[in-house]
Chain A
Amino acid sequence: MTDPRGRHGPDVLAGTQQTPVLEAEDVVRHFTSRTLTGRGIEKSVVRAVDGVSLSVGKGETLGIVGESGCGKTTLALIVLGLLRPSAGRVLIDGVDLAAVRGAQRRSLRPRVQAVFQDPYSSLDPRMRVGSAITEVVAHHHRSWDRARVRARTAELIEMVGLDGSKADAYPAQLSGGQRQRIGIAKAFATDPDLIVADEPVSALDVSVQAQIINLLMDLQAENGVSYLVIGHGLAAMEHICDRVGVLYLGKLVELGPARVVLSEPRHHYTAALADSAPALAADGRRQLSVLTGEPASARAVPSGCRFRTRCAAAQTRCAEQEPPLAELAPGHFAACFYPKAGVARTVEQARLAPNG
């Protein structure tokens, strides 16, 4: 029995309903801006995240793909607790972020950490990298003495593949890949259950990306940490993630096992993404671009299916009703009335998920 938040099927969890590390229930985040124009005060609402539900199990890697403006960064900020959702709930290890205060809230913080995209601005340029990690370790383990804190810092630095002597370096003395490793060490400093990685390798040299990807995966195997990876390169996502969700204009349009979603997509947007990305092993030149027009703005979301303005398969129904995220195959959901052909049933035959 699966639902759109993607809990594992019974064969994976063998009957134990383990609490997912992260659960997002219908998370919404709007940004309102009021501008004074010639016509008076105009209110415009950017629906950055417009009702996203997902979950990440223990030791699992969930990827989010989407283009600029899809809301993935906003979603990451909400999961990290840096932004409050306009509606919906975020549960960390079953605890609602918004419902707790004070000490209980502070105890939730260490469980979700982040690895950021830009290895340059994610480290304080005036602080030695060792001190940056020590700061976090000391705060998390307030009862530890300095020696123990320093030992743990050295441990973390070595864990990410760097020599202990690097602790005394300033960020400017390290390469992009090394800085990203420090960022990863910092993220692990609080023994988190979930790490949100926002495009962890996009800003790195191509020849170094594989090292960092391997590092992240090795650390997951050792620590059992879960990842929520915001990504870009479809090939890398397919490689790293167990499951992938595709975000378009603030809503999930497809969600399912990574390989299936990216290689046999059911939603037309996912298919367009997959086709647009140039693949390495090119079998001659083929037409890359299947999408026409510009992405619609999150300020003026189209009625019905938000992708219909660019979709070659759009029909009248698509403008009138918003398609729900329906389970087209076990664990594979797509929000489309006329999904691409696959082994699975049509949307009429699919069991609609409880939350729609």
Chain B
Amino acid sequence: MTPTGSGSRAAVPPDGHASQASPLLAVRGLRISQERPSGRRDLVREVSFDVGRGEIVCVVGESGSGKSLSVKAVMGLLGDRGSLRVTGDIQFDGREVLALAPEQRRALRGRDMAMVFQEPLANLDPVMRVGAQVAECVQRAEQRTRQAMPRVLELLRHVGLPDVERVAHSYPHQLSGGMCQRVMIAMALAARPKLLIADEPTSALDVTVQAQILDLLTRMKDDEGMSILLVTHDLSVAAAIADSVIVMYAGRTAEVTRTSDLFGHARHPYTEGLLRSLPQRGQAAGKDSRLVAIGGTVPEPGQLPLGCAFSPRCDKAIDRCSEQDPPLEWSGGSAVACWVANGDD
């Protein structure tokens, strides 16, 4: 699905550290389908977005939106599985990820791309000291077995952990959730990746700890020009740190926009609906007003309605919406998949 419309394909480079115009990661027309006895079922379709160098991009969506799957496909984690088929174009730093052999993809994952997951405790080996686990990553990244410890301590310090010697000697259960997540980030940073992918890294954490982690991520982007692709269900997290936001719904991209344009200028009815329905802080509205809720529920992948998946819940739907699934149309650095928003052409 090639982007149409005027202007360049890539996201507009943000102010600050990004220097090149060509994005670090360019995804076009990503489709992930599953072969089942009852036929082929698309779990993810028509996903297209860019991540510029030194940019933080948030993929926002709810359950069934396909956000985690898409991001795993970007990492090249899905190609080897039996029943899932991944098609489309994933250009990372000039190379086509899907065309790489499994070993090449593994090499890419260890070095230029790294991933951090949601439940830090579940993703750390409980019977191995934390320092040893980070050392494993360092050794793999630098391909030598000696003298990993100095680098381990440096990494732990870099992610803001206090008393790094003690932390390195601890087991995961002796550390708090926030500290474990920092350890995961340290492990991801061992290879000095160009792109850090974080799948709901703060959902399991308290809000004050979440703030610390988000600050850390922002610092890494500012100081080192690292690109970050962050998956979340929380729009406010995107608002806090993202340069651009990709909104996904029911397995496809609904909208791609700069964060600054998100509030007040959202174009997809789903995004608009979300923004309206979420309670806001400090508003004059208090207990006596009702939230403007989006009716209905999120459809499951096997049971998508005809046409636009959001149309049954959309208050702006026209006839065409229930007949044809709208394409993602780009203009400048943003995109929207909506007949109404795109002027019903």
Contacts and interface: CB of A to CB of B under 8 A. Distances in A.
**Do chains A and B make direct contact within the complex (CB under 8 angstroms)?**
yes
Interface of A: 61, 67-68, 175-178, 205-211, 213-214, 217-218, 232-236, 238-242, 258-259, 262-263, 272-282, 285, 287-291, 293-295
Contact of A276 (B63, B207, B295): B207
A274 B208 CA distance: 9
A207 B281 contact: no
B42 to A, nearest CB: 20
Interface of B: 62-63, 162, 176-179, 206-212, 214-215, 218, 233-237, 239-241, 259, 263, 270, 273-275, 277-282, 285-287, 289-295, 297-298, 313
A290 B214 CA distance: 12
11 contacts: A205-B63, A207-B62, A208-B297, A258-B286, A276-B208, A277-B236, A279-B236, A280-B236, A282-B263, A285-B218, A289-B208
B97 to A, nearest CB: 30
Given A280-B263, A291-B208, A262 B294 contact: no
Contacts of B278: 206, 209-210, 235, 280
Nearest to B281: A235
A129 to B, nearest CB: 16
Nearest to A276: B211
Contacts of B292: 210
A236 to B, nearest CB: 5
B207 A273 contact: yes
Contacts of B294: 207-208, 210-211
Given A207-B274, A211-B293, A242 B208 contact: no
Given A206-B233, A235-B278, A289-B208, A278 B291 contact: no
A273 B273 contact: no
B335 to A, nearest CB: 20
Contact of A205 (B178, B235, B241, B297): B297
Contact of A280 (B235, B273, B290, B298): B235
B287 A61 contact: yes
B286 A239 contact: yes
A279 to B, nearest CB: 5
Contacts of B162: 293
Contacts of A178: 297
Nearest to A275: B211
A289 B211 contact: yes
Contacts of A262: 281-282
A210 B277 CA distance: 6
Residue with the highest number of chain B CB atoms closer than 10 Å, among A207, A210, A239, A294: A207
Interchain residue pairs A-B with the least CB separation, the first 6: A278-B240, A210-B293, A210-B277, A276-B211, A67-B206, A288-B211
Contacts of A217: 287, 290
Nearest to A212: B293
A258 B279 CA distance: 14
Given A210-B291, A285-B218, A279 B281 contact: yes
Contacts of B270: 207
Given A238-B279, A240-B287, 10 more contacts: A176-B63, A207-B62, A208-B293, A214-B290, A234-B207, A282-B236, A282-B240, A282-B263, A287-B215, A288-B215
A336 B81 CA distance: 57
Nearest to A286: B240
Contacts of B209: 67
